[in-house]
Structure 1
Amino acid sequence: MVKLPDFLGGSGQDHFRPEFQVESPEGELHLRFYIPSHQEFALPATGIREVIELSPDRITPIPNASGLLLGTLNLRGRVIWVADLGQFLGEVTPLNTDKAEIPVIAIEEQDTIVGLAVEQIGGMDWLDVQHLIAPNNVPDAMAPFLRGEWLLDAQKNQCLRLLDQMAILRSARWAG
């Protein structure tokens, strides 16, 4: 005789008792990551096509291109630009490309895909955008690309900044 698990009803049919229903997470799913200056950022998972870690030799440098661009990458048969996100946001510290693997976040809008090279991936979290506050103490070069921030620790002045991927993809900064 097979014993029914506790979460199944007495009739043997697959249905959950109300007290065992899982609550849905609050907010939206976001990818958290760091740039070389150790600032933490997030992007909504809905606009991320892929997150890959790849050897720096898979990024082909392009002569006379903008200093923001590390080069191009073949992503499943499609050539995409890969940028140093920290430098794009106005950070002085460039991404260290002398390591075994570089995390790249491929963001997309319609037919446009750009790879954003970052220092480290922090993971995925459910974050509630209703708790965003206006960015505080933000460099002018970074401000147009922020939707807001979550205050993580007021005493240490730690925050998690939410990037606007559409503003990044549509930026005139790519032309420079």
Structure 2
Amino acid sequence: MLPTQALQEPAGDAGGEVVLERMALFVVGEHRFGVGIDRIREIIPARPYTPLPGSGSHVCGLINLRGRIVTVVDLGARLHLPPASANPDHSIVIVEHRGKLAGLAVEEVSRIVNVDPAALADAADSLRALRIDRSYLRGVGEVDGEVFVAVDPDEVISPILSA
């Protein structure tokens, strides 16, 4: 489970105080994505899925997480990228969505970073070559020379859990 202390940290600058958001960065295909750790309940290793008949190819299936049934979405497939769940050593990022738990299958969780949410650039121009629905994205950021796309887990999961 990710540490929950100090989800946001103030950092001073000349113009005032900037509130940084802690984000978990993870890998899907050749791309880096991030989700605010305040949205993440825990990160677990891959486990067998129970298929969900009639669901799209972006739904891995269901898992039992300590007695709770969790729907897992393959973030790669959902974003029209190679499926993250194709990697047998992938991870599942458990997020809370409207009082329910849901999972995002990702290839690898790489690190936790501090990001200025105001510094996230508009994702539309940066990701023109990808066929990603822009409503899934919060923006594009860069930390230590590593470019990543900030994902809104509610937008990724909502159409699936409400269907």
Q: TM-score with structure 1 length normalisation? A: 0.71
Q: 8 Å contact 1:95–1:118 — kept in the other structure?
A: yes
In angstroms, what is the RMSD of aligned CA positions?
2.6
Say whether residues 1:78 and 2:68 are aligned partners: yes
Q: Which residue of 2 aligns with 1:107?
A: 95
Q: Which residue of 2 aligns with 1:148?
A: 139
Q: 8 Å contact 1:66–1:174 — kept in the other structure?
A: no
Q: 1:81 to 1:172 in 2, by over 3 A?
A: closer
The aligned amino acid for 2:42 is E
**Offset from partner CA, 1:130-170 (integer Å, 9 cap, x none):** 2111111333433110111114699xxx6211111221232
One of 30, 40, 45 as aligned partner of 1:38? 30
The aligned amino acid for 1:42 is G
Q: 1:132 to 1:144 in 2, by over 3 A?
A: same
Could you tell me the percent identity over the aligned residues?
Answer: 26
Q: How does 1:123-134 map to 2 (within 5 A)?
A: 123-134=111-122
Please say which structure displays the higher CA radius of gyration.
1
User: Residue 84 of structure 2 aligns to a residue in which SS?
Assistant: coil
Q: 8 Å contact 2:51–2:62 — kept in the other structure?
A: yes
Displacement of 1:114:
1.3
The aligned amino acid for 2:158 is R
Task: Decide which structure has greater strand share.
Answer: 2
Q: 8 Å contact 2:26–2:109 — kept in the other structure?
A: yes
Q: 1:54 to 1:153 in 2, by over 3 A?
A: closer
Q: Which residue of 1 aligns with 2:107?
A: 119
Say whether residues 1:29 and 2:22 are aligned partners: yes
User: Residue 171 of structure 1 aligns to a residue in which SS?
Assistant: helix
User: Residue 155 of structure 2 aligns to a residue in which SS?
Assistant: helix
Q: State how far apart, in whole Å, the 1-side matches of 2:102 and 2:85 are.
A: 19
Q: 1:134 to 1:127 in 2, by over 3 A?
A: same
Q: State how far apart, in whole Å, the 2-side matches of 1:77 and 1:54 are.
A: 17
Displacement of 1:96:
4.7
Q: Which residue of 2 aligns with 1:68?
A: 58
Q: TM-score with structure 2 length normalisation? A: 0.76
Q: Which residue of 2 aligns with 1:17?
A: none
Q: What is the aligned residue count? A: 145
Structure 1 unmatched runs, 5+: 1-22
